[in-house]
Amino acid sequence: MINQVYIDDKKVKDILTYIAGMRHAEQIRMMFLCSLNGMRSINFCYLQIKDVYNDDLSVKDVICLDENKNKGKFGANYYLNSQMKKEFREYLKFLKSKEDELNPDDYLFKSQKMNKPYNRVSISRLFSNIYKKFNIHGASHLGRHLFVSKLVNSGVNICLVQKLANHRNIGTTQRYFNYNSQMLSNAVESLKI
């Protein structure tokens, strides 16, 4: 089954504006951006300082996660573009404002009530509620679908998209592709005979 939910850049900006008005906006915004960068909730809910930042607190180029922070028995690598690096640098400022000293084992996203990492069910519920405000049926995994769709629509080779999404099977990557009628029209318009 192909997921046909597609969210354009304007809608993403509207969602980010909405998130800015929420309690714990900094954490929610960064989790949302991680989702849009292709991460599963299991990947970002357990992110620690050491996963994202080098010893000097500069942002890593690639977030390398072992099998304990990924689906299945496999690790995952998430490449960060300059925009995501900038977002993580800004998020580090937020973390520093909350903590006297950052420990490499500290989690990036912690529940305020229990001071523990958010669980995946809570994240899914949170994202689902945000999307409902915009009449979108989806949860935390929808960001991965958008990630794949944007890459494919940008002309990135599907084999590279498969690797960037950390899919073991290219068929899975194909199911993640979202489209709308405008994309179909643009595709046909691009043909020159």
Strand partners, 77: 64
What confidence tier does 1 reach under pLDDT thresholds 50, 70, 90? very low
Q: Is the pTM of this model over 0.85?
A: yes
For residue 35, is pLDDT > 50?
yes
Among 28-32, 156-160, 186-190, the range with the most confident prediction by mean pLDDT is: 28-32
77-120 residue pLDDT tens:
999 999 999 999 999 999 999 888 899 999 999 887 767 888 88
Between residues 55 and 173, the one the model is more confident about: 55
Contacts with 114 (C-beta within 8 Å, 6 or more apart), sequence order:
none
pLDDT at 140: 86
CA distances from residue 123 to 128, 140, 149, 161 in whole angstroms, order as listed: 8, 7, 22, 25
Give 104's DSSP letter. T
The closest of 11, 95, 12 to 52, measured between CA atoms, is 95
Q: What is the three-class DSSP state of 78?
A: strand
Domain ranges of the chain: 9-140
Quote the CA–CA distance of 28 and 19 in Å, as a whole number. 7
Q: Options 3.90.1300.10, 1.10.10.10, 1.10.630.10, 1.10.443.10; which CATH number does 9-140 get?
A: 1.10.443.10
> What is the DSSP secondary-structure string of 175-190?
HH----HHHHHHHHHT
Where residue 174 falls among pLDDT bands split at 50, 70, 90?
confident
- pLDDT beyond 50 at 3: no
Distance CA(5)–CA(136), nearest Å, equals: 8
DSSP 96: H
pLDDT score of 5: 65
pLDDT bucket at 179, cuts 50 / 70 / 90: low
Helix (H) / strand (E) element for 171: namely helix 170-176
Q: Is the pLDDT of residue 175 over 90?
A: no
- How do strand 76-79 and strand 62-65 relate by DSSP bridges? antiparallel
pLDDT at 12: 94
Q: How confident is the model at residue 193 (pLDDT cuts 50, 70, 90)?
A: confident
Could you read off the pLDDT of 42-54 as tens digits, one per residue? 899 999 999 999 9
Q: Residue 122 corresponds to which tokens in the numbers above?
A: 């809570």
In percent, the amount of the chain with pLDDT more than 70 equals 93
Taking only the tens place, the pLDDT of each residue in 110-168 is 887 767 888 888 899 999 999 999 999 888 889 988 898 888 888 888 899 999 989 88
